[in-house]
Amino acid sequence: MQRKLVAVDWGTSSLRGVLINSEGIVLEKRAFPQGILQVAHGQFQHVFEQRFGDWMGADTLCLISGMAGSRQGWREAPYCPCPSGFEDIAQHLQWIEKDRMGIVPGLSTWNDDTPDVMRGEEIQIFGALAAQQIQTAQFVLPGTHSKWAQVLDGKIAAFKTFMTGEFYALLSQHSILAKTCLPDAPLKKEVFIDGVMQSQKSGGLLHHAFSARSLALFEKLNPAQSSSYISGLLIGEEIKSAKADRLDDSTPFLILGSGQLTQRYGFAMEALGLSATALPDEVTWTGLWALAHHLFPQDFI
């Protein structure tokens, strides 16, 4: 039987979906500003029908990743503990309708005594592994809550979250630094790298952040530059902290993310002597399609 796949990424603030045929070709795409925080309790089925109901034929499979599986989402899909691979999340899909509509579980890990979690990034990572035909890799997924993950033998062995994007929003919009910062100014690469290099010096983030203020007082940083500098400070701090967990120096980092942010991480990692390659964002669809193939190898070929 040839089935179609409706692949959905239902995040905190956005809802995206694609219709994919049995050979893995994307036929249609849709995106809505309707993340789980914008959906009232008990309305997930209704919103799904409204947005994607016309794609759901009798034989269609639907797989949903992201925050839809959180406690505040459509239905909770408990975290799979690391190390977890493709088969683990396939076995622990939360079926809303058996073999027809399932939610992908997120992953949890423990760093010392402290838990960490991801939802949605795991399917991007498995998608990238499938697309690259590799089993061992280290990933950087920039964002509001960036993730750095180590993959060994096809399993996500460990990962860490960094609140980099959220700190950027807080500092550039709500702190004293906002007075001298245009948060949406275009990237000034040189100033961005200044921030990256500053973050590597002693003093730590709490101190370096204040330098965006004092440099402005001394007229060495204008508002259009300040956003690039703060972004550099934060991304540099993230890389400084995260690179301690790297597998080895020979396994390059793969960056999964949207164009602009991926570019910034590429610049920063290059400046810090780390080898990194950017992959396109659409590994989410590759991952969900690979999962469909894994579940029903006869139907998705």
Residue 121 binds its own copies (CB under 8 A): no
Q: Evaluate whether 82 touches 151 at the Cβ level (below 8 Å).
A: no
Q: Evaluate whether 28 touches 18 at the Cβ level (below 8 Å).
A: yes
Q: Is the peptide bond before 83 cis (omega within 30 degrees of 0)?
A: yes
Residue 247 binds its own copies (CB under 8 A): no
For helices 189-200 and 223-242, the axis angle rounded to 10 degrees is 40
Q: Evaluate whether 126 touches 218 at the Cβ level (below 8 Å).
A: no
In total, the chain counts a number of residues equal to 301
Residue 229 binds its own copies (CB under 8 A): no
- With CB under 8 A as the contact rule, the residue among 140, 232, 238, 264 that binds its own copies is 238
Alpha helical stretches, state H, 10-93 = 44-52, 86-91
Q: Closest approach of Cβ 108 to its own copies, in Å?
A: 8
- With CB under 8 A as the contact rule, the residue among 78, 115, 252, 280 that binds its own copies is 115
Question: 26 forms bridges with which residues in the sheet?
Answer: 20
Backbone torsions φ then ψ of 246, nearest 5 degrees = -65, 150
Site string for its own copies, 24-63 (x = CB under 8 A): ----------------------------------------
Query: Residue 235: is it exposed, middle or buried by C-beta count within 10 angstroms (0-12/13-18/19+)?
Result: buried
Residue 77 binds its own copies (CB under 8 A): no
Find the part of the chain contacting its own copies (CB under 8 A) among 16-24, 26-34, 80-88, 195-203.
Answer: 195-203
CA distance 22 to 5: 7
Alpha helical stretches, state H, the chain = 44-52, 86-91, 121-132, 164-174, 189-200, 204-217, 223-242, 259-271, 283-295
Residue 202 binds its own copies (CB under 8 A): yes
Residue 75 binds its own copies (CB under 8 A): no
Find the part of the chain contacting its own copies (CB under 8 A) among 38-46, 92-100, 111-119, 130-138.
Answer: 111-119
Kindly identify the residues of this chain, within the stretch 156-175, that bind its own copies according to CB under 8 A: 160-164, 166-167, 170-171, 174-175
Task: Please report how many Cα atoms fall inside a 13 Å half-sphere around the Cα of residue 206, on the Cβ side.
Answer: 0
- With CB under 8 A as the contact rule, the residue among 82, 130, 242, 279 that binds its own copies is 242
Residue 200 binds its own copies (CB under 8 A): no
Residue 94 binds its own copies (CB under 8 A): no
Single-letter code of the amino acid located at 290: A
Residue 114 binds its own copies (CB under 8 A): yes
- With CB under 8 A as the contact rule, the residue among 111, 275, 277, 298 that binds its own copies is 111
Using CB under 8 A, count the residues that bind its own copies: 45
User: Which C-beta is closer to its own copies: that of 104 or that of 215?
Assistant: 215
User: Which C-beta is closer to its own copies: that of 43 or that of 214?
Assistant: 214
- With CB under 8 A as the contact rule, the residue among 200, 214, 277, 298 that binds its own copies is 214
Question: 156 forms bridges with which residues in the sheet?
Answer: 84, 151
Residues that bind its own copies (CB under 8 A): 71, 111-112, 114-117, 145-146, 160-164, 166-167, 170-171, 174-176, 198, 201-207, 209-211, 214-215, 217-218, 220, 234, 237-238, 240-242, 244-245
